[in-house]
Amino acid sequence: MAEKPHMNLVVIGHVDHGKSTLVGRLLVDTGTIPQMMVDKFEKEAQEKGKATFGLAWVMDSLKEERERGVTIDVAHKRFDTNKYYFTVIDAPGHRDFVKNMITGTSQADAAILVCSSYEGVQAQTKEHVFLSRTLGVKQLVIALNKADMVEYSQEKINAVKADIEKLLKNVGFDTSKIAFVPVSAQAGENISKPSDKMPWYKGPTLIQALDNLTLPEKPTNLPLRIPIQDVYTITGVGTVPVGRVECGILRVNDKVIAEPSHKGGEVKDIEMHHEKMQQALPGDNIGFNVRGLGKTDVKRGDVIGLESSPPSVPKTFTAQVVVIQHPSAIAAGYTPVFHAHTAQVACTFEQILRKMDPKTGQVAEENPSFIKAGDVAIIKMRPTRPMVIEKVKEIPMLGRFAIRDMGQTVAAGMCIDMEK
């Protein structure tokens, strides 16, 4: 049987709005997880006095997570619909885990934004919408969860829907192309089959909405870029960098270079899921061995490209930045940590060039002395040590970043120009 087309799906939204339960429900309703396993989890959850956590525990199979009742790692799970097979990146919602959310979202083809019909839009819902937009998630499905808690009320659910629509329009999403699906993950309503509790709702079920997503084109025509996630030393093989091909094609015998270390060599072999392959395409998570590339020549955060078109390592770059939250004003000289692809590098805000009007995209102020939460600005950045970043117009997958400070995401942005 031919493999179905593959999509990476990230599930985002506020920590308490039922993301893990929703993912658990998707895995059960698509037959990925047997019901008896869920029954076992539900029994365990009840014994611990957390009756509604059963489905969530399917995802959080890590013991520590169960005890804290919070999703920590980005868990990868697979499920199949009629049309696609999805890898779910269950992005943690908790503040301390936004870091993972950032690396999670940068790999997603589409996102399900989970928002509770009962609690409505929260600060974290806004943050995740901002991030997914800035990090380039093109397609969204909105799950208006916990419909059971508002007695499946059309009025209450539509009020929350209107709030989310406004939020999405503000950051530039076209809401006419987005499905808003009222669901109850806990009760299993409107996930795989239409709910008789909401006769007023005429749209797709959640799984139909996922099948209506379109497969992104593989950017094989762009230069090769593989951000490195890990580097292993394997006996008899040598150094094996591991990463996801973001764009371009990697072939056996290609001459490649790692930046910013500027060390390279020839590709000896490529493996995915323990199977050897002659070439790797965008979206493939691979391990590969490069003749001449030693353990100390490449590390997490580096990017591999072809020698003929190496990854960019600019001295300074100009970025458009959205300040999501910051307790005070941000002025030139500020040096927080930038998370771009798999790299984490402190960069200095060298010069705030101009402030933009987020609604019109026009210049609002030249050379402002500071920016604050809610502002959009064009800023000249200087990395404190060499890092790879690309112009978002040329290689979008490597042009976006998030900025973290004080244990939270303070801003997100994209590189629009650079000085090499």
- pLDDT of 92 reads 54
- Same domain (yes/no): 40, 179: yes
Arithmetic mean of pLDDT, 41-53: 67
Of residues 373 and 203, more confidence is placed in: 203
pLDDT in tens, 104-146: 555 678 999 999 999 999 877 887 787 777 667 789 999 999 9
Number of domains composing the chain: 3
Q: How are beta strands 255-259 and 316-323 bridged, if at all? A: unpaired
- Same domain (yes/no): 328, 294: no
Query: What is the spatial distance between Cα 200 and Cα 214, in angstroms, rounded to a whole number?
Result: 27
- Same domain (yes/no): 283, 368: no
- Name every residue whose Cβ is closer than 8 Å to that of residue 31 and which is 6 or more positions away in sequence: none
Least confident among 122-126, 145-149, 289-293: 122-126
Q: Per-residue pLDDT for 81 more than 50? A: yes
260 prior amide bond cis, ω within 30: yes
Q: Per-residue pLDDT for 398 more than 60? A: yes
| pLDDT interval class at 72 (50, 70, 90) | very low
- pLDDT of 255 reads 97
- Same domain (yes/no): 282, 167: no
Of residues 186 and 358, more confidence is placed in: 186
Beta bridge partners of 77: 88
> Which CATH number belongs to the domain containing residue 135 in this structure?
3.40.50.300
- Same domain (yes/no): 271, 413: no
pLDDT in tens, 237-288: 889 999 989 999 999 999 999 999 999 999 999 998 788 999 999 988 899 9
Per-residue tokens: 78: 């697979």
216 falls within a domain: no
- pLDDT of 97 reads 42
373 falls within a domain: yes
- Same domain (yes/no): 29, 176: yes
- Same domain (yes/no): 241, 150: no
pLDDT in tens, 1-38: 457 888 888 888 887 788 878 888 888 888 877 777 76
- pLDDT of 345 reads 97
- Same domain (yes/no): 89, 137: yes
| pLDDT interval class at 74 (50, 70, 90) | very low
- Same domain (yes/no): 246, 323: no
Q: Per-residue pLDDT for 75 more than 60? A: no
217 falls within a domain: no
- Same domain (yes/no): 231, 91: no
Instruction: Tell me the three-class secondary structure of the chain, residue by residue.
Output: CCCCCEEEEEEEECCCCCHHHHHHHHHHHCCCCCHHHHHHHHHHHHHCCCHHHHHHHHHCCCHHHHHHCCCCCCEEEEEECCCCEEEEEECCCCHHHHHHHHHHHCCCCEEEEEEECCCCCCHHHHHHHHHHHHCCCCEEEEEEECHHHHCCCHHHHHHHHHHHHHHHHHCCCCHHHCEEEECECCCCECCCCCCCCCCCCCCCCHHHHHHCCCCCCCCCCCCCEEEEEEEEEECCCEEEEEEECCECCEECCCEEEEECCCEEEEEEEEEECCEEECEECCCCEEEEEEECCCHHHCCCCCEEEECCCCCCCCCEEEEEEEECCCCCCECCCCCCEEEECCEEEEEEEEEEEEEECCCCCCEEEECCCCECCCCEEEEEEEECCCCCCCCCCCCHHHCEEEEEECCEEEEEEEEEEEEC
Beta bridge partners of 78: 87
286, 306, 326: which is the final residue of a domain? 306
Query: What is the spatial distance between Cα 289 and Cα 291, in angstroms, rounded to a whole number?
Result: 7
| pLDDT interval class at 170 (50, 70, 90) | confident
Which structural domain, as residue segments, surrounds residue 144? 6-211
Q: Per-residue pLDDT for 47 more than 90? A: no
Q: Per-residue pLDDT for 157 more than 80? A: yes
218 falls within a domain: no
Arithmetic mean of pLDDT, 398-417: 88
Q: Per-residue pLDDT for 371 more than 80? A: yes
21 falls within a domain: yes
Arithmetic mean of pLDDT, 77-86: 87
Arithmetic mean of pLDDT, 363-389: 94
Query: What is the spatial distance between Cα 74 and Cα 91, in angstroms, rounded to a whole number?
Result: 5
For the chain, what is the mean pLDDT? 85
pTM over the 0.75 mark: no
- Name every residue whose Cβ is closer than 8 Å to that of residue 375 and which is 6 or more positions away in sequence: 322, 323, 355, 358
Query: What is the spatial distance between Cα 188 and Cα 42, in angstroms, rounded to a whole number?
Result: 14
Which conformational region is residue 368 in: left (phi greater than 0), alpha (psi within -120 to 50 degrees), or beta? beta
Of residues 129 and 162, more confidence is placed in: 162
